[in-house]
Amino acid sequence: NAGVTQTPKFRVLKTGQSMTLLCAQDMNHEYMYWYRQDPGMGLRLIHYSVGEGTTAKGEVPDGYNVSRLKKQNFLLGLESAAPSQTSVYFCASSSGGTSGLYEQYFGPGTRLTVT
Amino acid sequence: AQSVTQLDSQVPVFEEAPVELRCNYSSSVSVYLFWYVQYPNQGLQLLLKYLSGSTLVKGINGFEAEFNKSQTSFHLRKPSVHISDTAEYFCAVKMNTGFQKLVFGTGTRLLVSP
């Protein structure tokens, strides 16, 4: 049981390049989330999904797209990277139903630098 | 909308001393409250949560937190810290109805020195 995994762990992009971050969970969770963490700002929600085939915008969605084609995977895309997207990205998941809304399980993070 | 304030960005403390990390929230409705810990270069891990019932909540690694509705606070405490408690601690809140997203505070870095 690996929990929540993220690939890659590190990445350096040039401005204007694109990339996709992959999140996978093996807990059969309904809900998945993408956050970014910046110094002094805590975690901010980028996009989230309440089930396979669904996505929704979070607090800071601009410049990102997501897809949830399979229940266990949640992809975060950057179509044209900008230096302002330099951050640590965390994926999380939680189970559905009322009991499952209470705990999110986090992946180890992806450190992205855009030059 | 809810918001979370962690006034202390960094708390230095000596090993075996007690510590309190402060968290205040604002919300017009009832909320659920959480504390997460992030060790260096790792993801977040749930320490404890308050959903209902007793206002004193015990979590992992000897931490506890007290929910104070009148003061809208959820401070985290540990009577005796270890070097291994050095980490960043995040308070988070969500509304207790329906699917509502977690709102995180900005975090408090706990630095435990010998």
**pLDDT for residue A101 is more than 70:** no
Query: By C-alpha distance, which of A101, A3, A7 is closest to B45?
Result: A3
Among B37, B44, B57, B94, the strongest candidate for a mutation testing the A interface, having the largest count of A CBs within 10 A, is B44
The two tokens of residue B4 are 């979370």
**CB contact, 8 Å: A60 with chain B?**
no
Collapsing DSSP states into helix, strand and coil, what is residue B4? strand
- Omega prior to A61 cis, within 30 of 0: no
**CB contact, 8 Å: A58 with chain B?**
yes
Q: Do B99 and A106 touch (CB under 8 A)?
A: no
**Do A54 and A69 form a contact (C-beta atoms < 8 A)?**
no
Interatomic CA distance for residues B68 and B82, integer angstroms: 26
Q: Do A108 and B90 touch (CB under 8 A)?
A: no
Which residues in chain A touch residue B107, judged by CB atoms under 8 angstroms apart?
A: 42
HSE-CB at A59 with a 13 A cutoff on CA atoms is 18
| pLDDT string in tens for chain B (114-residue length) | 778 999 899 999 999 999 999 999 988 778 889 999 999 888 899 999 998 888 899 999 999 999 999 999 999 999 999 999 999 999 999 876 666 688 899 999 999 999
- The overall longest dimension of chain B from CA atoms, in Å, is 45
The two tokens of residue A98 are 């009322």
**CB contact, 8 Å: A50 with chain B?**
yes
Nearest CB neighbour to B101, from listed A58, A107, A109: A58
pLDDT of residue A97: 63
Query: By C-alpha distance, which of B109, B114, B108, B71 is closest to B91?
Result: B108
**CB contact, 8 Å: A56 with chain B?**
no
Which residues in chain B touch residue A48, judged by CB atoms under 8 angstroms apart?
A: 101
**pLDDT for residue A65 is more than 60:** yes
Cα–Cα distances in angstroms (integers) from residue B35 to residues A87, A100, A103, in the given order: 22, 16, 10
Nearest CB neighbour to A43, from listed B42, B51, B90: B90
pLDDT of residue B11: 97
Interatomic CA distance for residues A107 and B59, integer angstroms: 21
**Do B22 and B8 form a contact (C-beta atoms < 8 A)?**
yes
CA distance B18 to chain A (A): 25
Q: Tell me how far apart the terminal alpha carbons of chain A are, to the nearest angstrom.
A: 36
